Amino acid sequence: MFKSSAKAEVLKQIVDVVSTLVDEAKFNIDSEGISLKAVDPAHVAMVELSLRKEAFEEFEGDETELGIDLEKLREILKLAHTGDIVRLEHNEDKNQLIVKIGNVTRRMSLVDTAGISDPKVPNIDLPTTMRLKAEELNYGIRASESVSDHIALVADQDYFEMSSEGDSDSVDFRLPKDKLISLESKGKVRSLFPLDYFSNMSKAIASGNEVSINLGNNYPVKLEFDIADGNGHVKYLLAPRVES
């Protein structure tokens, strides 16, 4: 059994975060809230999301799995305005998700969860951790997008830098330690990543939010941030492009 109601912006943010990597996702529900893990089709990136019941206006849930087509849910949520309450209910007999927004009721067929993988999140110990504003991260990405399709993330004890190098041009965006919220590093680290993935992940972070970045030498980068007024948490992992 699953029945809940939530502000439209909370549900829209969930869809934005997860649809960055996949079109369909398996939502695991229990009495405490919702969680999911998903990996993109190319196995380059992973998302892990958890949302406590406190993120909802109302929440009732027994242990169950719901396979949701994220594009269908996005289309329904377009009908909702900021502050609108969206009601969700699982019709087990017909295997449907019933979505109610005002006077509109949409009955959406669910996806068979047997075909959706449930990846294990690797436990990676990365030597550098920093926190910064999402706006700073997105600013550095925008500076790089016209130069290359890859972005290098570099950090030392004193700074964090995003840089891209094309055939003829290059760009660097450096933030000294005093412009970051925090920075802890055991030495210089550098990894190269596909810019389209990294950009899409960063765009899912709401403006004004803080983001934590964990980095190593030719290791995956880990991005972590809160959603739903701190009642939810998101973790992205992105594999590096190992340079020769």
Q: What are phi and psi of 53, to 5 degrees?
A: -60, -25
CATH architecture of 128-238: Box (3.70)
Whole-angstrom Cα distance, residue 182 to residue 84?
36
pLDDT of 243: 65
Residue-range domain boundaries for the chain: 2-115, 128-238
Q: pLDDT in tens for each of the 244 residues of the chain?
A: 999 999 999 999 999 999 999 999 999 999 999 999 999 999 999 999 999 999 999 999 999 999 999 999 999 999 999 999 999 999 999 999 999 999 999 999 999 998 888 888 888 889 999 999 999 999 999 999 989 999 999 999 999 999 999 888 999 999 999 999 999 998 999 999 999 999 999 999 988 899 999 999 999 999 999 999 999 999 999 999 876 5
Q: Which among 134, 114, 104 is positioned nearest to 67, based on CA atoms?
A: 114
CATH architecture of 2-115: Roll (3.10)
- DSSP conformation letters of 15-83: HHHHHTT-SEEEEEEETTEEEEEEE-TTSSEEEEEEEEGGGSSEEEE-SEEEEEEHHHHHHHHTTPPTT
Strands 2-7 and 58-61: antiparallel
* Separation of first and last alpha carbons in the chain: 52
